[in-house]
Structures are given as C-alpha cells and as structure tokens.
Structure 1
Amino acid sequence: MHFDPDFHFEVANQGETTMTRKRNTIIFSLFVLVGVQLILLPGLIPDGVRVVSAAATASYTITQVSGGGTIAGKILYSGKPVRPKRFPVTQDMSTCGKTKEIYPVKVEQEGVAEAVVWLDDITSGKAFNFPEPVIDQKNCEFVPHVLLIQPGAMKVLNTDLCSHNIHVFSSANREVNQNNPPNTAPLELTLMRPDHAMIRCEIHKWMQADVFVAKNAYYALSGAGGAYTLTDVPPGKYHIKVWQETLGTKTQEVTVETGKTATVSFNLGSK
C-alpha cells in the first residue's frame, strides 16, 4: 500500500486547526461569561474593584481655592404648626420609654434645622471637612438624625442597653441589614458612592437616620434659625439645593464673586 505523506500532512493540519478553533471558542466563552457576571452580579465583585471603579468616575477634583467667596442664608418655614408623630413603644420600654414623639420638621426660631444645603454642579474646590462620620443609637433614636459624610467609611454605635437593627437603604451602595446588640464594637459601614442613604431600625420602627454621602465638599446642615454657610467657594455660577425629609427639595441659582458673600434663602412650606 502506497503511503502519501502529503495526505497525512493535510489531515494533521486540519486537526490542529480544529483544536485551535475549539480552544479559542472556549476562551471567548469564558470572557463572555465573566463579563455577564460582572454586569448582572455586582455582589460577586470584590470591594476593592468597586472602590476603584467608583473613584474612577468621581466628578469632583480637590484644588487650592484662592479668591473664593461665601454663600450664606436661612431655611425658613411658612407652613402650619408642626405636630409630632407619636409611636407607642411595645418593647424595650426601660430604654425607649412608653411613647416616642418624632417631629417630621424641626423648626427652631422660625427656621428649619437639619436641612441639607449643597452646590449641585460644582466640579472642583476645597477638600472635604465634615464632622466625624459617626451615628449613635441613644434612647432609641439615631443621633444625629442627619449626617453628612465624604465617600468612605462611617461608624454606628449602640450606647443603649437594648438591641437595635441597622438596615441601610441606598440606591448606589450595598444594602446592609444587621442586628446590633448592646455592648458590642461599633459597626463600620462603607459608603463609597455619593448618594442619599437611609438607615432604619427594624426593631423600633420610628428610628430613622438620613446619611448624605457628598459628591463634593460644599454641603452644609442648617442649624438654629435655619442658618447655613458655605465657605471658600470658587467664583462662578451654580445651582444650590436644599432638602428636608418631609418638605422635599428646592433649587435656586447663585453667582459667587471673589471675597463677597452671596445670600440665598429658601422658604419651605408644608407639604
């Protein structure tokens, strides 16, 4: 029988080509599978990867501000007298009391306290300088009720003598739902993406806190009389917003000039 070396060479090449195609198909399928998992299953992505992704999409740059101006004003209230919501306490009464009264709007000296004011469209400016990012659970309430933080970590304490529950609702950050017994170490939460997050206690239904993860350094919390101040603002035109948990959000335009104070006040009525 005559052996044709050319025929053998052709068959070998065909087999090698087929195997190469199969190998390439398998590798491509793996890449597609990994890509789908990264898109549809964010819970599988390591925290470090998500942190880098969030940092890469950040739209605020910290710079040295020279010749900045100031924005100051008041958040005023023109609605009906505010009455508290009353919640009967059915457990942990030695810590929480028999009833809890929660005011939906905190009015002090005709102004709204604990309203959040911020510049919505500023892209560069001073460094973040918010108070320590800590919330306590004290007498069955979150203290403070509204907290401003820069993207990163915050702590939740429990100085009560009863158990609480930390349930974090956020559209941009990971949901957390964890019990928090007394006499335990502070619970650390990581909120890397700018967002308005809510923290609730599922054991004591009246307990709620609002955490603003700021997208820039120009956020302020109104105090007594509704007064607020934003300092070291680079000159320019901006949109300034105010938020209050019951009265909603309002927006105005403001122009900041070097060394001057722009006055912007808001009047919030009842909803």
Structure 2
Amino acid sequence: MRARMLLLALGLCVMQPSLAADPLIMTAPPRESEEAGQKQYEVTASYISDVLGRPVHYQHPGAWLRYQHDMRNDVYDIVFDGPHFASWRVAHLDHEMLIRLPGSLQFHLLTGAGNDQVNEPDDMIGRKFCGISPPNLSTLSILGRFRNPVRQPVVRGVKGGMGAVYKAFQQEQCEAFVVRTAYYRNAMSEEDRKGLKIIYTSPAMPNQSISVSSRLTPQERGKLRQALLSEAGTQALQPTLNRFASKAKRFIATDNAEFKDYNTLLEGVIFGW
C-alpha cells in the first residue's frame, strides 16, 4: 500500500466531491521505461477517471520484482497484463476480468531441423533453452509442460524480446528456444522456418487483459467494462492496441471463467512466485 499512501500524502484525494473517493492505481508490467509507460497508459487512466468520476493514476512499477511485490500486496486497482498474472489476481485478490485483446497467446518450443537428439518435449529435460526470463509467459508456458522441477529444461534468460531470443539460439547459447506462434508465422522468414522444427506447442491461452480490484464497486466494474468497449474507450486504449495487437480494432469483453487456472503457471515455480 506504499504507493497508495504516497498519493494520499501528496493530497491527490483532496478534490471536488465527485472525486472524493480514494485514488485508483492503474499499472502494467515494466516492459518499457517509465517515460514510455506514461505515454502508453496515461490516456487510458485519464479516460477511466472521467468514466468513474474518481482519480485514476498510472503507476510504473519500476522493475519486475517491485511489480510482483506490489501485486501480491494488492496495491493495484486496474491492471493490463498477461493471463497468468490476471488469473492469479482473480484467484487470490478477488479481481474481476473486464476486457481482453482478441485472439490467443500460444508458444512454440523450437530447435534446429537437423537436431536428431531433440524430437519431443521430454528430450529437453536437463537441456538448455533460450527464452525471455520468467515471469514472462512464453518461458513459463514451456516450464508448465514439465511440472516436476527436477525434470525440467534449463532456462537461458534473454533480454530484448523474441528477436533476441532467436538470435541467442543462432549463436548456439542454447539447444532450443521459445517464441510466440504469431512471431514464428509472421516475423520469421520461410527460410528461417525451414531450418527449424517444432518440439512443443503450448495450449492456447486468452490474450492480455484488463482486470480490476474489489475497490471498484460492482456498479463501477460494469460501467467501466461498457465504457472501455465503446468507441471512446477504444480511442483511449488505442496506444495499447497499436503496440500489442496492431491488427485488432478493439478489445472484447471477457470474464473470470475464461482465465481460470492459469495462475498455476506462476505458483510453485522455481523463481519463487
């Protein structure tokens, strides 16, 4: 609650009567700098504030460990992130799912086409694969296939996105690598794909979403869902659409049932969620 108390100390709650409620904190994972995060999400936070008639402030988490810490301590009220985090908040913090990006998230574990020693997932036990470091969903989706921690592949964490992951594999830093199926289809050339084989494809999961905390009333939750699905809401979400789903025209409605059990990708894993 550190951030919430700071906002109150700064006097942000001293507003006209219609905005007298406690400020709400909106956030997203620290996938960009604080400045870039402000540009990405401030317009949405401002729109939500207008819709609810109470202050909504975007807060950049700063780092992944802070993001995880504050999430576990129920600091955040409005969150845009992946299905594993959203599912965890539904299961443990009484969050409600409102809307999500259309489509699904699914990942391929790949190795070289000529690698005769690796043909199926279990062949990767004890071997190293490249992926964006946990808690990134791509890497967790692969580790989720190997629930026994002593019979898992070894993660070679890579920074810089899926292009960097593929480059690390090409540099022989690992025996396999994980990328989103959409990246495999759309960003890799036909020549690239011919030189690879798919070892494993994760189950499809719902795309990134927005969930809200129990500090929003049921009436506010319903009102906000409808507002974010409206034309004005779509405009306010446009920076997020442009970055994460450039071909999508708008978010779609969702509910808690669609995100059931994806929290298991986070809980009990080796990095200690």
TM-score by length of 1: 0.21
Higher Rg: 1
TM-score by length of 2: 0.21
| Structure with the bigger percentage of strand | 1
| Structure with the bigger percentage of helix | 2
